């Protein structure tokens, strides 16, 4: 479903951030992307989102080489590939319901679809009864769950989570992990970049480790594998 073939990224300053990456990601997989700072994790994510362009190689997403997309086509890619961030990035002046609905409105969804889909998504992340509240009324874990609901409301094929538990305490982090695992079991691929050793070790999912721009490990039911 997603395949990197001979992907290399060299930044303008000459840094080789990714070196000849080859990788296949299947539908519904849960993957952790790990590695020391500077290993190339963010670059990997940016190439998938087309925030950066590869220097060479191709990236097939759903049958299409996304390195070939024009600027005009990129918004469509961002519906297939959705992302949540460490800092949530919710709209503070909108309720939870409105935060999730807004993501559908910008894609031109009908009011009817929105009324159907938004409550379903809030239910999936366990926040049905909080729909009318504002982000400032929520805990960090709840904010992250809203941001996940918003990210999946347009049914992406892959959800990228960039350090999604980085701002959360351990208990809250596990609430977020349960939501992510639930979503992956329903068929959405999850790619989570993280330094959370305890989470990676307990979850026992596929682990891809990057170091200096190379994949140095790719293991099913893997562990974090670094000292923290």
* Residues that bind ligand ADP in the complex, under the rule CB under 6 A: 11, 13, 15, 17, 35, 37-43, 171, 174, 178, 202
Q: What's the angle, vertex CA 56, arms to CA 156 and CA 5, rounded to 5?
A: 55
Q: How far is the CB of 31 from ligand ADP (least distance, A)?
A: 15
Nearer to ligand ADP, 17 or 109 (CB): 17
Q: How far is the CB of 74 from ligand ADP (least distance, A)?
A: 18
**Helices of type H across the chain:** 41-49, 74-80, 96-105, 111-124, 140-152, 170-185, 197-203
Q: How far is the CB of 16 from ligand ADP (least distance, A)?
A: 8
Question: 112 CB contacts (<8 Å, ≥6 apart)?
Answer: none
**Rounded CA gap, 100 and 170, in Å?**
25
Q: How far is the CB of 176 from ligand ADP (least distance, A)?
A: 11
CA distances in angstroms from 201 to 48, 83, 166, listed in the order given: 25, 23, 16
Nearer to ligand ADP, 33 or 90 (CB): 33
Nearer to ligand ADP, 38 or 225 (CB): 38
CB 59 within 8 A of CB 7: yes
DSSP 132: T
Nearer to ligand ADP, 37 or 228 (CB): 37
Nearer to ligand ADP, 52 or 98 (CB): 52
Q: Could you give the angle at which helices 96-105 and 111-124 cross, rounded to 10 degrees?
A: 130
Q: How far is the CB of 120 from ligand ADP (least distance, A)?
A: 20
Q: How far is the CB of 175 from ligand ADP (least distance, A)?
A: 8
CB 5 within 8 A of CB 57: yes
Nearer to ligand ADP, 99 or 184 (CB): 184
What strands, in cross-sheet order, belong to the sheet with 30-34? 81-85, 158-162, 189-193, 30-34, 206-211, 214-219
């Amino acid at each position: 479903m997603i395949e990197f073939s001979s992907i290399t990224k060299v930044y303008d300053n000459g840094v080789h951030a990714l070196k000849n990456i080859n990788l296949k990601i299947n539908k519904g997989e849960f993957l952790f992307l790990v590695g020391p700072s500077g290993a190339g994790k963010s670059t990997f994510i940016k190439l998938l989102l087309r925030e950066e362009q590869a220097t060479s190689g191709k990236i097939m997403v759903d049958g299409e080489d996304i390195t070939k997309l024009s600027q005009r086509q990129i918004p469509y890619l961002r519906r297939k590939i959705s992302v949540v961030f460490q800092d949530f990035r919710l709209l503070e002046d909108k309720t939870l319901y409105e935060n999730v609905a807004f993501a559908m409105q910008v894609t031109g969804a009908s009011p009817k679809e929105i009324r159907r889909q938004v409550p379903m998504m809030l239910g999936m992340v366990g926040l049905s009864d909080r729909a009318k509240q504002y982000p400032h009324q929520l805990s960090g874990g709840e904010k992250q769950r809203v941001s996940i609901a918003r990210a999946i409301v347009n049914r992406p094929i892959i959800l990228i989570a960039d350090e999604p538990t980085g701002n959360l305490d351990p208990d809250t982090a596990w609430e977020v992990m349960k939501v992510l695992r639930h979503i992956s079991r329903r068929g959405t691929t999850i790619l989570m970049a993280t330094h959370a050793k305890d989470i990676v070790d307990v979850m026992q999912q596929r682990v891809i480790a990057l170091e200096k721009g190379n994949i140095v490990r790719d293991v099913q039911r893997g562990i974090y594998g670094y000292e923290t």
